Each structure stands twice: as structure tokens, then as C-alpha cells.
A and B are shown apart, each in its own frame.
Chain A
């Protein structure tokens, strides 16, 4: 069975600092996708970053980057120069290509002024 674990239920950092959100997963598949979603209080789901398992290079999107360790089944999200607008719930998700996506429980991130 596939699982996604986010071990940090809640985090707080000062504005402009760098923060890393952790995510570990488990799957027996060799080809899959990993996502980080941002969910503000409105409950929209905003795709932050996407990683394909067969690509060794870590994905980056502006201030957001991931550290993808396939052997360790780890997929952490780094937010550099954090901003107040980054305050949200962040979900890690695993897409194993069998029409099922598994979400972690989420990490609530507070960016403090």
C-alpha cells in the first residue's frame, strides 16, 4: 500500500527565513509523481511544485525547491526568502499512476512578520 507521511503538523518561521517541510512516502512502484500543494484558508489547492520520479534533478519553481531522495523515499519542500503570503497548509501527494493520488495529512506553516 502507498503511504505519504508529513511528520510536522505545524511550523512557524520569521519572514525572509528559509523553511523546509518534510515528506516521506512509500510505494513499490518505480515510476510515479510527487506533488506539493499549498492550501490557503480559502481551501483552494494550489500546485506548488511537481517532481517526476524518473528525473534525478530536483524540481524548482522560483523560491520553492525540493530535495528528492528516491532511495530514501523522501521529498522535502524548501521555501527560501519566506513571505507572509506563504502562510498556508501544505500537502505532499503521491501519484502512482493507477488513478489514485495519496495525500499526506498536511503541514500548517505560519510565516511571522
Chain B
């Protein structure tokens, strides 16, 4: 089954304690992306990756890091989490940035992060 998986689904942590949210896709997609969802603000892109070893900042990259060592995995790293990073996080993948194809983006189930 084609899917994007995220772990953990729920996480409560304290300020300053480093954490990693994993994301994995089994569709051999080149493009992967992280978003955060906040009430009233909708989804905002944090980072994205066009391919292995290629990452770039989205709209709200501050306080986050990513890596793309393998095509299937795109972990999101919070080196020193703060309460304003409490949010719902989504990983997504697709074939690419195609603007004319019918390519769609597949979303993971989301990770609810609470930083105390």
C-alpha cells in the first residue's frame, strides 16, 4: 500500500530537549516536504527536499532542521524545541514539482507535538 508514515503520532516534550520526527514514504517519490498546521493559519511549509541531499527552506524554517540521506526518509529535527513549536506536523511526498501533470501529494497522518 502506497503511504507516508510518520512517527511518533503524539509527543509531549519539554523546552530544549532535542527530538526527531521521522517520515518515510514507499512510493519512490523524489519530493518530500514538512508542514505545520496551526489554528487559523492553515498549513505552512517548513522545509522541502527535491531529492537526496537536496533540501531547501519553506516559509517557516526557523528552529527546524531536516536531512535527506535516503530517498524514502525525511526526518524533521528540533534541536531545541520551544513552546511556539507546539503544533500539528505533516510530512508529504510527491513525484516532483510538476505543474502540468496530474501528480498529487500524499500526506502522512500527522504528528501532534506539545512542547511544555
Q: Which residues of A contact B (CB under 8 A)?
A: 9-10, 35, 37, 39, 41-47, 50, 89, 91, 99-101, 103, 105-106, 108
Contacts and interface: CB of A to CB of B under 8 A. Distances in A.
Name the interface size band of chain B: 20 to 34
Interface string B32-46: 010101000111110
B41 A103 contact: no
Contacts of B105: 39, 43, 89, 91, 106
Contacts, number: 50
A66 to B, nearest CB: 15
A101 B45 CA distance: 16
Nearest to A87: B99
Contacts of A89: 104-105
A37 B94 CA distance: 16
B110 interface: yes
Nearest to A46: B42
Given A100-B110, A101-B88, A103-B107, A43 B97 contact: yes
B94 to A, nearest CB: 8
A40 to B, nearest CB: 8
